[in-house]
Structure 1
Amino acid sequence: MAADCGSVDFPVSVVLPAAGSGERMGLATPKQFCSVLGRPLLYYTLQAFLNVPWVREVIVVVSQDWLQETSDILQSFSPTTRSKVRVVSGAATRHRSIWNGLKAVGSSTDVVVLHDAVRPLVEEDFLKRIVLAAKEQGAAGAVRPLISTVVSPTKDGSMLDHTLDRSQYQASEMPQAFRYPAIMEAYHNCSEHDLDFGTECLHLVQKYAGISAKLLLGPSSLWKVTLRKDLYAIEGVLKEEHCRKVAMLSDQQSTVSQRLHRGFQEQLSSEVLHINHQEQLATICQTVTTLILTNSFPCDLKKTRDRVSQVWEGATSGDSTSRVLVLLFCGEAPALDAMPVIFKFTQELAKESMEHSVVVYSVYVDSQASSDVVNRAVGMVISLIRQRDPALSGQMFVAQ
Structure 2
Amino acid sequence: MPSPAKIAIIVAGGSGSRMGSTTPKQFLELNGKPVLHYTIRAFMEAYEDMHIVLVVPPAHRGSIGAVLAAFGRPPSVTIAEGGETRFHSVKNGLQFVKQDAVVFVHDGVRPLVSPALIRTCYEQALLKGSAIPAIPLKDSIREVDTVGNNAADRTRFRIIQTPQTFLSGLLIPAFDQPYDPLFTDEATVVERSGHAVHLVEGEEQNIKITRPQDLVIASAFLNDSLR
Q: What TM-score, normalized by structure 1, do the two folds share? A: 0.53
- Tell me if the contact between 1:60 and 1:86 (Cα under 8 Å) persists in the aligned partners: yes
Correspondent of 1:49 among 43, 49, 59:
43
Q: Identify unmatched segments of 5+ residues in structure 1.
A: 1-7, 245-400
Distance 2:56 2:93 in 1: 9
Q: Which amino acid aligns with 1:163?
A: A
Q: Quote the offset at 1:28 in angstroms.
A: 1.7
- Tell me if the contact between 1:49 and 1:55 (Cα under 8 Å) persists in the aligned partners: no
Q: Identify unmatched segments of 5+ residues in structure 2.
A: none
Aligned partner of 1:169 in structure 2 is: 157
SS at structure 1 position matched to 2:14: coil
Deviation per CA, 1:288-335: give whole Å up to 9, x if none. Answer: xxxxxxxxxxxxxxxxxxxxxxxxxxxxxxxxxxxxxxxxxxxxxxxx
The question of 1:36 aligning with 2:14 is answered no
The question of 1:14 aligning with 2:5 is answered no
User: Does the C-alpha gap of structure 1 residues 22 and 165 become closer, same or farther in structure 2, counting only changes over 3 Å?
Assistant: farther
SS at structure 2 position matched to 1:134: helix
Q: Which amino acid aligns with 2:176?
A: H
The question of 1:95 aligning with 2:87 is answered yes
The question of 1:27 aligning with 2:21 is answered yes
Deviation per CA, 1:219-270: give whole Å up to 9, x if none. Answer: 21222112110111111222233x34xxxxxxxxxxxxxxxxxxxxxxxxxx
User: Does the C-alpha gap of structure 1 residues 220 and 110 become closer, same or farther in structure 2, counting only changes over 3 Å?
Assistant: same
- Tell me if the contact between 1:141 and 1:215 (Cα under 8 Å) persists in the aligned partners: yes
The question of 1:221 aligning with 2:205 is answered yes
Correspondent of 2:183 among 198, 211, 224:
198
Deviation per CA, 1:325-349: give whole Å up to 9, x if none. Answer: xxxxxxxxxxxxxxxxxxxxxxxxx
Distance 1:59 1:169 in 2: 31
- Tell me if the contact between 1:142 and 1:216 (Cα under 8 Å) persists in the aligned partners: yes
Aligned partner of 2:65 in structure 1 is: 71
Distance 1:9 1:184 in 2: 18
Distance 2:176 2:104 in 1: 18
Q: Quote the offset at 1:126 in angstroms.
A: 2.1
Aligned partner of 1:110 in structure 2 is: 101
Correspondent of 2:195 among 211, 219, 239:
211
Q: Which amino acid aligns with 2:172?
A: M
The number of aligned residues is 226
Distance 2:85 2:41 in 1: 25
- Tell me if the contact between 1:139 and 1:211 (Cα under 8 Å) persists in the aligned partners: no
Correspondent of 1:85 among 77, 88, 111:
77
- Tell me if the contact between 1:50 and 1:81 (Cα under 8 Å) persists in the aligned partners: no
Aligned partner of 1:139 in structure 2 is: 130
Q: Quote the offset at 1:56 in angstroms.
A: 2.5
Aligned partner of 1:60 in structure 2 is: 54
Highest relative contact order (Cα 8 Å, sep 6+), 1 or 2? Answer: 2
Deviation per CA, 1:132-171: give whole Å up to 9, x if none. Answer: 111221111000001222222232xxx7322211111111
Distance 2:154 2:12 in 1: 30
Q: Quote the offset at 1:54 in angstroms.
A: 4.3
User: Does the C-alpha gap of structure 1 residues 38 and 72 become closer, same or farther in structure 2, counting only changes over 3 Å?
Assistant: same
- Tell me if the contact between 1:144 and 1:172 (Cα under 8 Å) persists in the aligned partners: yes
Say which is worse superposed, 210-219 or 10-19, in terms of deviation. 210-219
- Tell me if the contact between 2:46 and 2:116 (Cα under 8 Å) persists in the aligned partners: no
Q: Which amino acid aligns with 2:169?
A: P
- Taking the TM superposition and a 5 Å limit, the aligned residue runs for 1:269-348 are none
Q: What TM-score, normalized by structure 2, do the two folds share? A: 0.92
SS at structure 1 position matched to 2:216: helix
Distance 1:125 1:39 in 2: 22
User: Does the C-alpha gap of structure 1 residues 61 and 225 become closer, same or farther in structure 2, counting only changes over 3 Å?
Assistant: same
Following TM superposition, the consecutive aligned residue runs of length 4 or more in structure 1 with deviations greater than 3 angstroms are none
Structure with max Cα Rg: 1
% identical aligned pairs: 28
- Tell me if the contact between 2:46 and 2:118 (Cα under 8 Å) persists in the aligned partners: no
Q: Which amino acid aligns with 1:148?
A: D
- Taking the TM superposition and a 5 Å limit, the aligned residue runs for 1:118-137 are 118-137=109-128
Q: Which amino acid aligns with 2:30?
A: V
Bigger fraction of residues in helix: 1
Correspondent of 1:233 among 217, 220, 227:
217
- Tell me if the contact between 1:14 and 1:55 (Cα under 8 Å) persists in the aligned partners: no
Q: Quote the offset at 1:9 in angstroms.
A: 4.1
SS at structure 2 position matched to 1:226: coil
